[in-house]
Amino acid sequence: MDHQLLIARLNEKGLKVTPQRIAVLNAVYQLGGHPTAERIIEVVRRNNPNIATGTVYKILESFVGIELLRRVKTDKDIMRYDAILEKHHHLYCADSENIEDYFDQELDKIIEDYFKKKEIPDFHIEEIKLQIIGRFSSGS
Protein backbone atom coordinates (compact mmCIF):
# COMPACT_ATOMS: atom_id res chain seq x y z
CA MET A 1 0.00 0.00 0.00
CA ASP A 2 1.18 3.52 -0.76
CA HIS A 3 3.09 5.18 2.11
CA GLN A 4 0.80 8.24 2.09
CA LEU A 5 -2.31 6.03 2.29
CA LEU A 6 -0.86 4.25 5.32
CA ILE A 7 -0.25 7.61 6.99
CA ALA A 8 -3.79 8.71 6.11
CA ARG A 9 -5.25 5.52 7.65
CA LEU A 10 -3.38 6.16 10.90
CA ASN A 11 -4.37 9.84 10.92
CA GLU A 12 -8.04 8.96 10.30
CA LYS A 13 -7.97 6.88 13.46
CA GLY A 14 -6.21 9.59 15.48
CA LEU A 15 -3.01 7.63 15.93
CA LYS A 16 0.41 9.18 16.04
CA VAL A 17 2.28 8.19 12.89
CA THR A 18 5.41 6.23 13.84
CA PRO A 19 7.76 4.15 11.68
CA GLN A 20 6.79 1.05 13.66
CA ARG A 21 3.05 1.55 13.10
CA ILE A 22 3.59 2.21 9.41
CA ALA A 23 5.75 -0.92 9.11
CA VAL A 24 3.15 -3.13 10.82
CA LEU A 25 0.22 -1.74 8.84
CA ASN A 26 2.18 -2.01 5.60
CA ALA A 27 3.03 -5.66 6.38
CA VAL A 28 -0.64 -6.50 6.97
CA TYR A 29 -1.66 -4.97 3.64
CA GLN A 30 1.35 -6.44 1.84
CA LEU A 31 0.56 -9.95 3.07
CA GLY A 32 -3.16 -9.65 2.37
CA GLY A 33 -5.59 -12.33 3.44
CA HIS A 34 -5.53 -13.07 7.15
CA PRO A 35 -1.91 -13.17 8.34
CA THR A 36 -0.77 -14.34 11.76
CA ALA A 37 1.20 -12.04 14.04
CA GLU A 38 4.25 -14.24 13.48
CA ARG A 39 4.01 -13.78 9.71
CA ILE A 40 3.55 -10.01 10.15
CA ILE A 41 6.63 -9.90 12.39
CA GLU A 42 8.68 -11.73 9.73
CA VAL A 43 7.74 -9.17 7.09
CA VAL A 44 8.25 -6.17 9.39
CA ARG A 45 11.72 -7.40 10.39
CA ARG A 46 12.94 -7.48 6.79
CA ASN A 47 13.29 -3.69 6.91
CA ASN A 48 13.18 -3.20 10.71
CA PRO A 49 15.31 -6.02 12.18
CA ASN A 50 15.41 -4.48 15.66
CA ILE A 51 11.67 -4.12 16.24
CA ALA A 52 10.64 -6.06 19.33
CA THR A 53 8.06 -8.81 19.07
CA GLY A 54 6.12 -7.22 21.93
CA THR A 55 6.00 -3.92 20.05
CA VAL A 56 4.39 -5.58 17.03
CA TYR A 57 1.83 -7.34 19.23
CA LYS A 58 0.99 -4.07 21.01
CA ILE A 59 0.59 -2.27 17.69
CA LEU A 60 -1.66 -5.02 16.33
CA GLU A 61 -3.83 -4.90 19.44
CA SER A 62 -4.03 -1.10 19.28
CA PHE A 63 -5.14 -1.40 15.63
CA VAL A 64 -7.84 -3.86 16.68
CA GLY A 65 -8.90 -1.54 19.51
CA ILE A 66 -9.51 1.36 17.14
CA GLU A 67 -11.05 -0.88 14.47
CA LEU A 68 -8.27 -0.51 11.93
CA LEU A 69 -7.95 -4.31 11.93
CA ARG A 70 -10.07 -7.20 13.16
CA ARG A 71 -9.03 -10.41 14.83
CA VAL A 72 -10.00 -13.69 13.19
CA LYS A 73 -9.53 -16.88 15.17
CA THR A 74 -9.08 -20.16 13.33
CA ASP A 75 -10.59 -23.48 14.31
CA LYS A 76 -7.24 -24.32 15.93
CA ASP A 77 -7.28 -21.08 17.98
CA ILE A 78 -4.63 -19.38 15.87
CA MET A 79 -5.12 -15.62 15.88
CA ARG A 80 -5.03 -13.86 12.54
CA TYR A 81 -5.68 -10.30 11.47
CA ASP A 82 -8.07 -8.95 8.86
CA ALA A 83 -7.76 -5.51 7.27
CA ILE A 84 -11.11 -5.74 5.49
CA LEU A 85 -13.61 -3.96 7.70
CA GLU A 86 -16.66 -4.18 5.42
CA LYS A 87 -19.31 -6.71 6.44
CA HIS A 88 -18.22 -10.17 5.34
CA HIS A 89 -17.93 -13.76 6.47
CA HIS A 90 -15.13 -16.30 6.26
CA LEU A 91 -14.72 -19.61 4.50
CA TYR A 92 -12.28 -21.63 6.58
CA CYS A 93 -10.54 -24.63 5.01
CA ALA A 94 -10.14 -27.33 7.66
CA ASP A 95 -7.28 -28.95 5.71
CA SER A 96 -5.04 -25.95 5.02
CA GLU A 97 -6.33 -23.42 7.58
CA ASN A 98 -6.72 -21.01 4.66
CA ILE A 99 -9.33 -18.31 5.24
CA GLU A 100 -11.17 -16.74 2.33
CA ASP A 101 -13.40 -13.68 2.59
CA TYR A 102 -17.01 -14.31 1.64
CA PHE A 103 -19.31 -11.40 0.75
CA ASP A 104 -23.01 -12.14 0.35
CA GLN A 105 -25.62 -9.42 0.91
CA GLU A 106 -28.48 -11.88 0.44
CA LEU A 107 -27.13 -14.08 3.24
CA ASP A 108 -26.65 -11.01 5.45
CA LYS A 109 -30.29 -10.02 4.91
CA ILE A 110 -31.58 -13.54 5.65
CA ILE A 111 -29.61 -13.68 8.92
CA GLU A 112 -30.62 -10.17 9.99
CA ASP A 113 -34.30 -10.88 9.26
CA TYR A 114 -34.12 -14.19 11.11
CA PHE A 115 -32.77 -12.60 14.28
CA LYS A 116 -35.20 -9.68 14.09
CA LYS A 117 -38.05 -12.20 14.19
CA LYS A 118 -36.47 -14.12 17.10
CA GLU A 119 -36.19 -11.03 19.31
CA ILE A 120 -33.67 -12.40 21.78
CA PRO A 121 -34.65 -10.94 25.18
CA ASP A 122 -32.26 -8.37 26.66
CA PHE A 123 -29.76 -8.83 23.81
CA HIS A 124 -28.81 -6.34 21.12
CA ILE A 125 -26.98 -7.79 18.12
CA GLU A 126 -24.17 -5.52 16.97
CA GLU A 127 -22.65 -7.71 14.30
CA ILE A 128 -23.05 -11.16 12.84
CA LYS A 129 -20.00 -12.91 11.41
CA LEU A 130 -20.06 -16.44 10.11
CA GLN A 131 -17.07 -18.70 9.85
CA ILE A 132 -18.07 -21.45 7.47
CA ILE A 133 -15.83 -24.47 7.88
CA GLY A 134 -15.26 -26.84 5.01
CA ARG A 135 -12.74 -28.00 2.47
CA PHE A 136 -11.84 -26.45 -0.86
CA SER A 137 -11.72 -29.03 -3.65
CA SER A 138 -8.27 -27.84 -4.66
CA GLY A 139 -7.05 -28.11 -1.04
CA SER A 140 -6.09 -24.44 -0.97
pLDDT at 76 (0 to 100):
75
What pLDDT, in 10s, does the model give residues 43-53? 999 999 999 99
At residue 121, the pLDDT reads 87
Concatenating the DSSP letter of every residue in 89-108 gives EEEEETTT--EEEE--HHHH
- Rounded to whole angstroms, the Cα distance separating 107 from 42 reads 36
Query: Nearest Cα to 129, choosing from 137, 112, 140?
Result: 112
DSSP 8-state secondary structure symbol assigned to residue 2: -
Regions of the chain where pLDDT drops below 70: 138-140
Bridge-partner residues for 101, per DSSP?
90
pTM over 0.85: no
